[in-house]
Amino acid sequence: MNLISAEMHKSAYATSPHPVLAIDGTPIELWIKCIAENASCEDDTFGLVPAQGWLLDENELNSAWKLLIPHKENSSTFVPLLICPDDVDLACTVIVVEQVVEKDKVIWARFGFAVEVINGIVTSVQWSKNEQKAEFDKSEFISACSELKRLTENEWV
């Protein structure tokens, strides 16, 4: 299983550190770029930022938080994870994960780019051909999401 945590990280195009999820100690934008998308990890040129915390539209932001939190067992959800820091909405580049919830784990089964968004919900995704996925202990995942929310609301300025 992979480890998931929340930490402060400065993305390539951000002016200061901000809260991010990290997989096995690697900030999510770099993990997706380097591991899931099989691209070079030598420099941080991806520059995307977390949807949770950065989205300007309140409805989109609330949806992004709600979709991230695992709910029903044996279900999957399209969760927007990363967005373009220039537009801070779901109309530009949006990295999406298919999040599968099982009894005691959360699986990020596949990653892709949002193709269509309706009322703040990603409805169509162009999935990556790379088969990389991540598996997390469900309680650890929920704890990391709570810490991400705390950092976003209390530490990020």
Task: Record the tokens describing residue 1, joined without a space.
Answer: 């299983």
Residue type, 9: H
Residue 121 is predicted with a pLDDT of 87
Domain residue ranges of the chain, discontinuous segments joined by +: 4-155
Residue 151 is predicted with a pLDDT of 97
Instruction: In whole angstroms, give the CA distance from residue 8 to residue 14.
Output: 12
Instruction: In whole angstroms, give the CA distance from residue 147 to residue 144.
Output: 5
List Cα–Cα distances, 132 to 7, 25, 31, in angstroms. Answer: 23, 17, 11
Residue 132 has what DSSP assignment? -
Residue 129 is predicted with a pLDDT of 86
Task: Record the tokens describing residue 155, joined without a space.
Answer: 């530490």
Can you give the pTM of this predicted structure? 0.90
Instruction: In whole angstroms, give the CA distance from residue 113 to residue 125.
Output: 6
Burial level of 66, CB count in 10 A (0-12/13-18/19+)?
middle
Instruction: In whole angstroms, give the CA distance from residue 35 to residue 14.
Output: 22
Q: CB-based contacts of 55: which residues, under 8 Å, 6+ apart?
A: 61, 64, 83, 88, 89, 90
Task: Record the tokens describing residue 96, joined without a space.
Answer: 């999406």
Q: Digits of tens for pLDDT over the chain (157 positions)? A: 999 999 999 888 788 899 999 999 999 988 988 765 566 565 555 678 999 999 999 999 999 999 999 988 999 999 999 999 888 999 889 999 999 999 999 999 999 999 999 988 899 999 988 888 999 999 999 999 999 999 999 988 6
Residue type, 12: A
Among residues 119, 137, 118, 132, the alpha carbon closest in space to that of 35 is found at: 132
